[in-house]
Amino acid sequence: MIGRGHQAILEIGCGSGDLIYAIVDHAEKIVGTDISAKGVEWARNRKYLWSLSGEQSSKIEFLQMSAVQLNFPDETFDWAISTSLVEHLHPEDVSIHMHEVRRILKPGGKYLMWCPNRLGHHKDRDYHFSMLSYREWIEKLREAGFSGFRSTLTSRLPMIDAGFKVFMEQFLTALRIKLMWTHWGVRNVFLVATR
């Protein structure tokens, strides 16, 4: 989906850094940020698990950084990625985060986000402050200036207009069908938005 040949990719909330290491060959520079200094140190120290060449290692950088204050120049990255991050933001920080991501993306850059769907029958968790649905996340992204919302057809490729996911979450909610949420890929939110 992300493909190769990019100049720079950013993962926000990189945790252990596994995604960074897995996509090292997709860009000239891959940056992972996390708010936790211990998390960043852990990600750096996991490099030995990946059998990287010297060239691959030189592409990777891990930085301690907040998701609501991305200390990068405007229009730096081709892609920004967050997985299991946005639901941990305080509601008042969601808009700030979205604007920051848009700011650091190049024109036409993409933001890929994955998180639990508020309507997808996830149990409440004390540390999930911003649980939203597909429709609500698209609204937040649109307010920040994003467009072209795409998602996977089910829980896998191909990519389709995310309006289908909005329709499916509304349809399944109205019918009160819990079993099909995972099969139709709406239990979690997977969105790619374009700057």
Q: Residue 32 has what pLDDT?
A: 98
Q: How confident is the model over 95-116, as pLDDT tens digits? A: 999 999 999 999 999 999 999 9
Q: How confident is the model over 58-100, as pLDDT tens digits? A: 999 999 999 999 999 999 999 999 999 999 999 999 999 999 9
What is this structure's pTM?
0.94
Tell me the domain boundaries of the chain: 1-114, 116-188
Q: Is 128 within 8 Å of 88 (Cβ atoms)?
A: yes
Q: Summarize the confidence of residues 162-173 as an average pLDDT.
A: 92
Q: Is 106 within 8 Å of 75 (Cβ atoms)?
A: yes
CATH superfamily membership of 1-114? Vaccinia Virus protein VP39 (3.40.50.150)
Q: How confident is the model over 116-144, as pLDDT tens digits? A: 998 886 776 778 899 999 999 999 999 99
